């Protein structure tokens, strides 16, 4: 069953055997649930979303949360698809360092994107006509503190985290440590099991290993 912040709070209280607030307030429990969600989403990259960059802006290189609020919570982009109503085209992911080696930012249909410091860079720069007719759809991992954003399979983890924090407040440190160890072990497992870490795009420029020796780094 999908959890909300309210039902997750009830689950924490069930584990603590405290149905109504006596020692732990709902506010404390809910802050710890949110903290668990933030840790889970940032460590695993398993909370995913799809959003449009729309409208595109003529001659604008970078887009921030001032342009689209969702960019503030974008951790890693998996795909970017340009769509002008008749044509779909995948954009190539580029390393932010490449931006410093672009001699001239000429106008044209977007071909590359890069994510740096919670800002999305798109180039070539769009003309007025391209900006008016096209959008870019991004598939990405996001940062969140909302337990409703987590897939159902992972929603028990912020609950475990909140129970562990409650045990710490109650100075039951052995129980708290056991629960916290379980929380981080499951996070580590899910990350390794379900998320393949991308190779840095600069890897393609490294000298390949020869003669059994490591190449230049």
Confidence at residue 205, expressed as pLDDT on a 0 to 100 scale: 45
Confidence at residue 217, expressed as pLDDT on a 0 to 100 scale: 43
Confidence at residue 96, expressed as pLDDT on a 0 to 100 scale: 86
The domains of the chain are located at: 5-45+145-195, 48-142
The full DSSP string for the chain is ----HHHHHHHHHHHHT-SS-SSS-HHHHHHHHHHHHHHHHHHH---EEEEEE-S--TT--EE-TTT-GGGGGEEEEEEEEEE-SS-EEEPEE--GGGGGG-S---BSS--EEEEETTEEEEESBPPHHHHHH-EEEEEEEE----GGGS-GGGTHHHHHHHHHHHHHHTT-HHHHHHHHHHHHHHHHHHHHHH-PPPPPGGGGGSPPPBTTB----
Average pLDDT over residues 130-145: 96
Average pLDDT over residues 154-169: 97
Span 25-58, pLDDT tens digits? 999 999 999 999 999 999 999 999 999 999 999 9
Question: Is residue 113 predicted with pLDDT exceeding 50?
Answer: yes
Span 49-94, pLDDT tens digits? 999 999 999 999 999 999 999 999 999 999 999 999 898 999 999 9
- 102 confidence band (pLDDT: 50, 70, 90): confident
217 or 117, which is more confident = 117
> How much of the chain exceeds pLDDT 90, in percent?
79
């Amino acid at each position: 069953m999908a959890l909300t912040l309210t039902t997750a709070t009830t689950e924490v209280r069930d584990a603590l055997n405290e149905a109504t607030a006596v020692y732990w307030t709902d506010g404390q429990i809910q802050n710890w649930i949110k903290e668990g969600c933030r840790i889970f989403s940032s460590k695993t990259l398993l909370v995913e979303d799809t959003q449009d960059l729309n409208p595109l802006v003529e001659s604008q290189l970078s887009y921030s949360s001032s342009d689209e609020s969702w960019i503030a919570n974008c951790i890693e982009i998996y795909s970017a698809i340009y769509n002008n109503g008749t044509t779909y085209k995948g954009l190539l992911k580029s390393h932010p360092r490449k931006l410093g080696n672009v001699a001239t930012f000429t106008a044209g249909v977007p071909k590359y994107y890069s994510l740096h410091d919670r800002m999305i860079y798109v180039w070539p720069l769009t003309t007025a006509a391209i900006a008016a007719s096209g959008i870019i759809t991004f598939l990405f991992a996001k940062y969140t503190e909302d337990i409703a954003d987590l897939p159902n399979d992972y929603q028990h983890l912020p609950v475990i985290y909140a129970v562990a924090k409650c045990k710490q407040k109650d100075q039951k440190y052995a129980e708290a440590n056991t629960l916290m160890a379980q929380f981080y072990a499951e996070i580590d497992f899910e990350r390794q099991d379900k998320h393949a870490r991308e190779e840095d795009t600069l890897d393609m420029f490294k000298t390949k290993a020869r003669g059994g020796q490591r190449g230049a780094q």
